[in-house]
Amino acid sequence: MLSFDQRAQEMGLDISFAYKGLYSYRDVHGIVTYRRLASLQDSPECSTPSHETDGQIVPIFAIYTKPSYETDFKYVGYVSDLYKFMGHEVLNTSIRESITSIGMPVLREQIATDTHIAKMRNDMIIQNGQVSPIAGDIFPTISVSNSYNGSHAALISFGVSMPHGDSIMTFAFKLGEIRQVHIESSRTTVSAGVSSYVQSFSNDILEMIQSSFNKKLSDNDMMAVLDYIETLGKKKREGISKILEELTKSKVGDERELPSAWHLFLAIVRYSSLQPNLNVRRILENAAESVLVIPARMYDVLNQLEQGTATV
């Protein structure tokens, strides 16, 4: 396999300072720079004997980022010589074009990055919505994720978005993710995936909501999910429990409904949509997905998307 240096230009990095082992990329989010590391060498004034490993090139690149609102670069980690780079906006543009190329307008985009822009998520909300008597307006959503620090490959996930007050709640399935190898190999693969998902969404999303709403949770079911969430922090469990309580409070007196799978799903998604930490948000979404009743046809489509076998 070619080295990072040999692949840098092909991956979209600026190689103007390649002679210094420095490669960079810039977009609306900021700048990321990769610098090849080397072991220290003795200074001329040093009396300590040199070592045969002094000055050796190390197959590791340090990562420095500078968000567009910052003035200084910060060290945010490192990657190996095998790391496969993809720019945040390069990926966003590719997926955006894949969606619009099959006649599906993007209604809105919600982009979030971590404080060092090393991780990015863009929820692209598609116009082809449905109206549920339980959930109200609900829209198919393509979630695009990327990282500069090797924490995960570039990928797209399929999910839903629901207006809530002045904001929009979004959720992405873990099942059905398309990873970087599929994204880069063919735009047709992505377009076929989007088309297949939106068709499945139109056919099956109302059934998923109704079935999840009809599935009442036992105390053990609910506690198992909340106990898992508590591993992320007690406040997260308390926050979700409070939303769940509001959702299940009866309109007559203080009598409470038995929580349904949809209630718990909605409580987790409402809470997770406000999380600034993208890793935590993804973990919470996985917990929300675990309680849903996904129709067999929709499950099959998502599984095909993950395997790269979906067709238009």
Q: pLDDT per residue over 136-169, tens digit each?
A: 999 999 999 999 998 888 999 999 999 998 899 9
Task: Kindly indicate the confidence band of residue 242, based on its pLDDT and cuts at 50, 70 and 90.
Answer: very high
Tokens describing residue 39: 């072991």
* Residue 158 near residue 305 (C-beta atoms within 8 A): yes
Q: Report the alpha-carbon distance of residue 277 to residue 16 in Å, rounded.
A: 34
Find all residues with CB under 8 Å of 64, minimum gap 6, and list them. 32, 33, 34, 35, 73, 74, 75, 76
* Residue 187 near residue 98 (C-beta atoms within 8 A): yes
pTM for the full model?
0.90
Task: Kindly indicate the confidence band of residue 235, based on its pLDDT and cuts at 50, 70 and 90.
Answer: very high
Tokens describing residue 309: 């076998």
Helices (H), 143-277: 180-185, 187-214, 219-230, 234-248, 261-272
Nearest to 308 by CA among 145, 202, 150, 186: 186
Q: Report the alpha-carbon distance of residue 113 to residue 136 in Å, rounded.
A: 29
Any bridge partners for residue 63, and if so which?
34, 77
In whole numbers, what is the pLDDT of the chain averaged over residues? 91
Q: Report the alpha-carbon distance of residue 229 to residue 238 in Å, rounded.
A: 10
> Could you give the C-alpha distances from 97 to 69, 92, 127, 129, 243, in angstroms and in order?
27, 9, 15, 20, 37
204 secondary structure, DSSP code: H
pLDDT score for 312: 45
Structural domain boundaries of the chain? Answer: 4-80, 88-205+295-307, 219-291
